[in-house]
Amino acid sequence: MAGADRIDDVLSAIGYGWWQMPVLLATIVANTIPLHYMSSSLLSAPMAFRCTAPGSLNAPEPSLLSESSEASTPTNNSWFNNECLDPSLPSQPALPALSAAGGSLQRRATGLPSCPEIEYDSSVYSLTVISEFDLVCEREWLRPLFQMMVTIGAILGCFFAGSISDSMGRRRAMQISCLLGLPASLAVAFVPWLPVVLVLRVFMGISVRMVMLSTINLCMETCPPRHRTVLGMFMGLPYSACVILFALVGYFVSGWRYLQLIWTLPYVIMTPITLFVKESPRWLAQSGRGKDAAAELEEAAKRNHVELPSNLIAYLEKMKQDSCVLSDGGKEQVPLKELLGKYLQSPAMLIIILITPMMYLLLCLLYNGIFLNVNNFTSTNPFQYIAMLSLFEIVSVLMATPANQLLGRRCVIGWTLFLAGGLFLGVMFVPEDIWYAKWALVMISFFLAGGGYQVTFMYVPELFPTMVRTKGFALVTLAGSLGQLVSPIVTDLLAQQAWWAVGVSLGCSGMVAGLLVPALPETKDMPLPETVQDVEDRRNNAKERTERRKKAEYVTDSKHFHV
C-alpha cells in the first residue's frame, strides 16, 4: 500500500490545523442535517382522536363539562378512543356544519366515511402531520409515508451521491446537495398539500444523503491517520446533541410546521461553508489532477505552519508531474458498474460488498426502529424519551471511542449490536407493571446500538478504495436506507397487528448484524486503501498475521506439553 502510505505520510506531517477547520465545521453542521430522518417521530406523531357522525353529540363535549367535577373529565381512554365509525350503520340526521360560531372549534369535518367529524387530543402534541391531514381510518395507511418518502429520497441519493462525489469531487457534491435541500426543506414548512409535501420530502432525502456521504469522505480523506479514529467517532456527537435540542424545542414549539422551519437552519449554515471548503487531495490525485493535489497539500502545510521534510517535498514534485501517482488504471473515473463487475473479482472486495450492506441494513432497522418506537413505548412523554435516547447515545459515543482505539472496529461493532438486539428482544418478556425495567432495557439497548452505529459509520468508508469510496459507501447506505424504510412500517403498521412484532423484528436484526461483523476486515491503525490491490494486500496481511499467531500458539502449547 505504498501510494496510500505516501499520502498518509504527507497528512501526518501536515497534522491537523487551520487547513482542516472549514472541513471540520462543515462536518459538524452536516451531521445535524440527518435529523430530518428522525424528525417524523414528532412531526408526524399520531394523536389520539374521537370520531363522531355529522353534527351529532353522542357524548358530552370536553368544553361543556363541569370544571368542578373531576369524575366527568375525559381521558384518552374514555373520550379519545381512537375508534372509527361503521359507515354501514344508519347515520344520524346531518346538522349544520361546524364553524367557529357554532359547535366545537376543535371538531371539524374530514370527508372520511368512517370518521365524518373528528376531534384530536392536543394534550401532548398541538398539531402534527397526522392531525392536519386527518391520516386516520381510511387514510391510516398514509401515516408511514411521511417518514418513508425521505427514506426513498435517501435511496435515490445513494446513486446520485456516489456518482457526483466520485466524478465531480466531494466539494461540488456538498454544494449541489445544499442547493437542493435548502429550498425543499423550507417549502415543506409552508406547502398546504400533502402530496406536494411528500414529494418535497423525497428531495430532502436525496440532499441529506448526498451531503452526508460527501462530507464524511472529505473529512476522513483530509485527516491524518493518528486522528482518524477520534475524529470519526466524534462526528456523531453533533447529531445526538441536536436531537436533544430537537426534543426540547418540540416540547415548547406548537405545530409541526414551525419545527420543520426551525430545522432548516443547518442548511442555512451549511450552504455558505461549502464555499470555503477545499477539495480532497486524495480525490484530486486519483482523478489525474496530481498537480492540483500537490498544490493543495502544499497550501495545507503552509496554513498549518508546517515545513515538510525533503523526501515529502520530492514526492509532491513527482505528483505534479505524474497524471495519477496513486491509481493503477490511469485517469479514467471508475463507473458504478466497476464496483459490481471488476471489483467483484477480488475476494476481499466481494466479501465487503456482500456482507457490509446486509449488516448496515439490519443495524439501521434496529437503530431507527428504537427511535421511531417512541409512540408505542410511551404516549405521555415522547420528548423525554427522545432526549434520553440521545443523551445515552452521547455517552455511548464517548465510551466507544477509547474502546474503538483499544479493541478495534470489528470487536466494538459486533458485540454492541449483538447485545443491543438481545436486550431489546428481552423487553417483550418484562411485565407491563415493571415499567422501569422496560425503560432500562430500551435505554441500554439504544446506548449500545448508538455506539455501534457511530463506529460503523466511520468504519465503512475505511473498507473501500479511494476511487470508489463514495460509491461503496453509497451502496452500503442504500441498504441502510432500506432498513430505515422498513422501520416505520414495523413500528407503526405492524405493531398494530402483533404486540411482539417490534421486539422480534428489531431484536433479531441487531443480533444477526452482530454475527456478520467478524467476516469483515479490521481497519484499525491501517492507511486508507487507494486501490483494489490495497484491499487485497490488507486481507492477505491479516491472514499472514493470523497464521503466524496460530503457529506461535502451537509452538507454545507444544513446549508446555513436553514440559
Which tens digits make up the pLDDT trace of 369-400? Answer: 887 666 555 555 677 777 887 788 888 888 88
Query: Does pLDDT of 100 surpass 50?
Result: no
Residue 523 forms beta bridges with which residues?
none
Q: Which range of residues forms the domain containing residue 227?
A: 2-45+144-519
What is the tally of helices (H) and strands (E) in the chain? 25, 3
Does 128 map to a domain? no
- Amino acid at site 378: T
The residues, ordered by sequence, that sit 6+ positions from 113 with a Cβ below 8 Å of its Cβ are 87, 138
411 assigned to some structural domain: yes
Higher pLDDT, 447 or 105: 447
Burial of 164: CB neighbours in 10 Å, binned 0-12, 13-18, 19+: buried
Q: What is the 3-state secondary structure (H, E, C) of 416-465?
A: HHHHHHHHHHHHHHCCCCCHHHHHHHHHHHHHHHHHHHHHHHHHHHHHCC
- Which runs of E-coded beta strand occur in 245-379? none
pTM, rounded to two decimals: 0.70
Residue 314, CB-side half-sphere exposure with 13 Å CA sphere: 3
Checking 195-199 for CB contacts under 8 A at 24+ apart, the result is 197/129, 197/146, 198/145, 198/146, 198/149, 199/149
Q: How confident is the model at residue 155 (pLDDT cuts 50, 70, 90)?
A: confident
When mean pLDDT is compared across 72-76, 418-422, 476-480, the lowest value belongs to 72-76
On whether residue 514 sits in a domain, the answer given is yes
Q: What does R_g of the chain's alpha carbons equal in angstroms?
A: 27
Q: Is the pLDDT of residue 3 over 70?
A: no
pLDDT digits (tens, 9 = 90+) for 355-372: 999 999 999 888 888 876
Give the other-Cβ count within 10 Å of 315's Cβ. Answer: 18
DSSP secondary structure code for residue 342 in this structure: G
Contact 36, 209 (CB under 8 A): no
From the list 296, 215, 315, 224, the residue with the least C-alpha distance to 16 is 224
Examine residue 101 and state whether it is found in any structural domain, yes or no. no
What pLDDT is stored for residue 71 in this prediction? 38
Average of per-residue pLDDT across 187-198:
93
Mean pLDDT of 282-294: 84
Residues sharing a CB contact under 8 Å with residue 32, sequence separation 6 or more, in sequence order: 238, 239, 242, 266
Q: What is the pLDDT of residue 102?
A: 36
pLDDT at 376: 57
Q: Which residue has the cell 435529523?
A: 35
Instruction: Classify residue 161: in a domain, yes or no.
Output: yes
Is the separation of the CB atoms in 92 and 55 below 8 Å? yes
Q: Any bridge partners for residue 118, and if so which?
A: 51, 108
- Phi, psi (rounded to 5 degrees) for 115: -155, 70
Q: pLDDT for 509-555, tens place per residue?
A: 999 999 999 989 888 878 778 788 888 888 887 777 666 665 655 45
Let me know: does 161 contact 269? Beta carbons within 8 Å.
no
Q: What is d(CA 53, CA 468) in angstroms, rounded to the nearest whole number?
A: 60
Mean pLDDT calculated for residue range 403-408 = 85
> Is residue 549 classed exposed, middle or buried when 0-12, 13-18 and 19+ CB atoms within 10 A define those classes?
exposed
Tell whether 255 is covered by a domain: yes
**Rounded Cα–Cα distance for residues 163 and 507 (Å):** 34
d(CA 431, CA 533): 54
The whole-angstrom separation of Cα 321 and Cα 301 is 20
Q: In the 8-state DSSP scheme, what is residue 70?
A: G
Which residues make beta-bridge pairs with 50? Answer: 119
E-strand stretches of 96-167: 108-112, 115-120
In percent, the amount of the chain with pLDDT more than 70 equals 82
Residue 298 in domain: yes
Half-sphere exposure of 369 toward its Cβ, with a 13 Å CA cutoff?
35
- Our count of domains for the chain comes to 1
Beta-bridge partner residues of 109: 117
CATH assignment of the domain containing 233: 1.20.1250.20
The DSSP call for residue 489 is I
Q: Is residue 97 part of a domain?
A: no
